[in-house]
Amino acid sequence: MIYPNEYDNQYISFGEFDMKQFTIKNTTFSLSQLNTASKEEREEIKKFIEDVFIYLTDKLGEPPTDYARNFVITILNDRSDSGSAGYRTLISYWDKKVLTHEFIHWWNGVTMGSGINVWNEAGTEYLAFKTLKDMGVWTEKQYIQSMININAVREVYPYAKYYSNVYEGEAFAFMRDLDLLIIEKTNGQFSLEDVIKYYHQLGREIYNYKNLSINETVELIKNVTGVDVTNFINERYAPDTI
């Protein structure tokens, strides 16, 4: 349900939720929150959404234009389900890391996927950590501590082997080290974000939003950055364990 722009400065109540619509960079958001949330909390969430979306569009490019520029974000207070993202929707409880993770899925995981099983989830998790640090939401100490904490996490999703162990330290470290390799080999000129940005801006006609094979992912990275990560993949990637 999308409301006209005149509702930008007020919340419209329906049931247990209030909705507020606003526009960022030609993209319209309809933000639904439980009406039990305080005015200050609502405004804090809206401001964070604005800040992280602007940052990500600057870093990864405009969100895929093949889909409607109207996105519905629902903020819950139930932490039993961390969040989810679809082509036009995002559901999350109010947590900056979780919300950032689901935002990044609009570029990575929803419209771009890889045969490297950990790319979609562990890769998105790593980019969420990196985004929060680079935005100044997390300090360097918080960033490092969060990486230490994730090494202790052993989340296994019983409903799909594809998602198994995506948050384990090995999977997270694999995506982090892949990014650091690209940055090192290009003297900071390219990063993992550039690979995703290229995919959406120039490569979509070639790949057509399909789930890339491992070889196609390696080729994409090489085309964008000039770095051949074949040896890194062969040495570090073990689908059965990460």
Query: How many other β-carbons are positioned within 10 Å of the β-carbon of residue 215?
Result: 11
pLDDT of residue 29: 84
**Domain identity same for 212 and 119:** yes
Residue 242 within a domain = no
Residue where one domain finishes, among candidates 104, 129, 144? 104
**241 within domain boundaries:** no
pLDDT for residue 149: 73
Are residues 87 and 145 both part of a single domain?
no
228 is written with which tokens? 């051949």
Q: How far is 208 from 213, CA to CA, in rounded Å? A: 13
68-101: per-residue pLDDT in tens?
567 888 887 666 556 788 777 888 888 899 899 9
Kindly state whether residues 167 and 231 are assigned to the same domain: yes
| Residue 232 and residue 147 share a domain | yes
Q: Which pLDDT score, from 0 to 100, does residue 203 have?
A: 63
Write down the pLDDT at residue 134: 96
Boundary-marking domain end, from 104, 134, 159: 104
Cα–Cα distance for residue pair 228/169, rounded to 1 Å: 24
Model confidence over 36-79: pLDDT tens digits? 667 788 888 889 999 999 999 999 887 765 555 678 888 876 66
pLDDT recorded at residue 131: 97
Residue position matching structure tokens 């770095």 = 227
Q: Same domain for 98 and 118? A: no
Predicted model pTM: 0.82
Averaged pLDDT of the chain: 78
Query: 163 lies in which domain range?
Result: 114-236
Q: Which of 55, 73, 104 is the last residue of a domain?
A: 104
Interatomic CA distance for residues 131 and 138, integer angstroms: 9
Q: Is 69 found in the same domain as 132?
A: no
pLDDT greater than 80 at residue 165 = no
**Over pLDDT 70: what percentage of the chain?**
71
The answer to whether residues 30 and 55 belong to one domain is: yes
Number of domains present in the structure of the chain: 2
